[in-house]
Amino acid sequence: MKNKSSKAPPILLCDFEGSRSDVCEIYSSVRIHGNSSSIFFAPDQTMNMEENKTWTIKPYTRKYDNNALSNVKAVTIKPLYASKESPKCNQYHNIPAIVFSKGSYAGKNFFHDFSDVLVPLFITARQFEGEVQILMADLQPTWIEKHKKFLSQLTNYEIIDFNKETQVHCYPRAIVGLYSHNDLTVDPSRSPNNYSMVDFASLMRRAYSLERDIATNLVEGSKKKPRLLIIARNRNRKLINIGNVVALGEELGFDVAVNEPSLRTNVEEFARMVNSFDVMVGVHGAGLTNQVFLPTNAVLIQIVPLGNIKWMAFNFYGLGATNMMLKYVQYCISEEESTLIDLYPRDHAVFRDPDSFQRKGWGAMGEVYLNQQNVKLNITRFKPVLTRALELLGGMNYVTWPDLSFCDN
C-alpha cells in the first residue's frame, strides 16, 4: 500500500552554490535582532541538528568580490535551542521579511545600484506584491530617498535599518540574502512566477509614471522624428568628438540631445527624459544603466573601448537590454578611435596583448582601458551603426537578438 502522506517543505533552505550570492529561506517562526546580526528560527523535530549548529551568511550579491565582501558584516542564523539567549519578540509581523546588505558599491555607482541591489531585490521580493518587510544592512538614507519610488513598488512597509535596529522583530517567514542571476538580468526560469527583465522594466515605468511603453515605429509614417540620446561622460571614456556625433545624428534625421547623468541626478526626472527617446548611445559605463527607463523596442548602442572587453560590455549592459526587449547594437572602436594611441607606441602590449593586462587583474586592466582611455569616433565608420538603429526602428520589431556585427573586425 502506498504511503499517501507527503513531506512538509524543509524549514530551512540554504543555497550556497550560487556564483553571485548566498541565500537562506526560513519557513518558520523567525526572530530577527539586527543590531547583533542574529536571526533565530524555530526548528522542527525532524532537523536533528547539533546543539550548536549555526549558519553564517554575508547577504550581499557580490560573493565573488572579496574587496566588496570585506565591508559586509556576516549574519548568523541559529535554531532557537542552539542559543541560550532566546530573545523575546518586541514586535510581531504577519508578513515575510527579507534581510540583505546594500553593500558598499551601491550609492557610489548607478550600475551597482541596479546590478547589486534593485534587480536582485526585484527577483526576491516581487512575488510578495508589496506584502513583505525589508531589513537592509549598510543602509544609507540618501540612497533610500533616491530610489524610494521603485522601492515602494516592492514593499508597502517602512524599510528597517538592520544594523541599528535594537528591537527583536518576529516574522512567520524570512529570506536572508538576495537572489542574483547576472548583471542587470532576470532569468525567468529561475524566478518566482517566471518574472523577467520585461517585468522589471514595466515595474520601473510604473514606479516613475513613464509615459511611453513602446518606442517610435517609423513604419507607421509618423512625422515625428526618432529621438537619439547621447550619454556623455566627463572623466574617462569621454566621447571627445561628441559634436560630430550630434551632427551625424541630425544628418540622418534624428532629433538629438546630449545629457550627462551623475550621482546627484534626480532619478525621477532623468527617467522621464530617457523614456522620451527611441535610441540611446554611449561609451561603456554606468550611464548605460539608464536603459531601464527606455520604452520597449528602443535601441541601445554601446560603444566598446579597446581592451578586448566586448564580452564584459555585453554581460554588463547588452544581456539585460536584450532581455528587456530592447534592440541592442554593440560597436567596438578601432585603435585609431582610441586616445591610447597618444599615450603608448603602437607595438606596446596595450595594443598587441590586452589579455596580458586582464591576467594581472581588474586593477591593471581598468587603469589602462577604463581610466586612461577616451574615444574619438570615426564618423564614417560609425555612420552605419546609427543607420542600423533607424532600420531597427523601422518595422523590424521581431528582432530580439543583439547585433554584435560591428565588433567582428
All CATH 3.40.50 domain ranges of the chain, comma separated, are 207-406
Q: What is the pLDDT of residues 290-333, one digit of tens each?
A: 999 999 999 999 999 999 999 999 999 999 999 999 999 999 99
Tell me the residue type at 11: I
- In this model, does residue 184 exceed pLDDT 80? yes
| pTM of the predicted structure, to 2 decimals | 0.93
Q: What is the pLDDT of residue 110?
A: 96
pLDDT (average), residues 194-200: 97
Q: What is the pLDDT of residues 217-275, one digit of tens each?
A: 887 556 789 999 999 999 899 999 999 999 999 999 999 999 999 888 899 999 999 99
By CB neighbour count within 10 A (0-12 exposed, 13-18 middle, 19+ buried), where does 193 fall? Answer: exposed
DSSP assignment of 298-326 equals: -EEEEEEPSSS-HHHHIIIIIHHHHHTT-
Q: What is the pLDDT of residues 104-142, one digit of tens each?
A: 899 999 999 999 999 999 999 999 999 999 999 999 999
Which residues have a Cβ under 8 Å from the Cβ of 36 and sit 6 or more positions away? Answer: none
Q: What is the pLDDT of residue 10?
A: 84
- In this model, does residue 4 exceed pLDDT 60? no
Q: What is the pLDDT of residues 40-52, one digit of tens each?
A: 998 876 666 666 7
Q: What is the pLDDT of residue 264?
A: 87
Lowest mean pLDDT among 82-86, 351-355, 366-370: 82-86
What class does CATH assign to 207-406? Answer: alpha beta
Residue that has been written with the C-alpha cell 564618423 in this structure: 379
Report in angstroms the alpha-carbon separations of 33 from 56, 94, 139, 193, 281: 15, 17, 16, 30, 46
pLDDT > 90: percent of the chain: 84
pLDDT (average), residues 335-340: 98
> What's the chain's average pLDDT?
93
Q: Which three cell numbers stand for residue 126?
A: 516581487
pLDDT grade for 278, boundaries at 50, 70 and 90: very high
Q: What is the pLDDT of residue 1?
A: 40
**Strand pairing report for 38-41 and 30-33:** antiparallel
Residue that has been written with the C-alpha cell 543555497 in this structure: 15
pLDDT (average), residues 31-59: 85
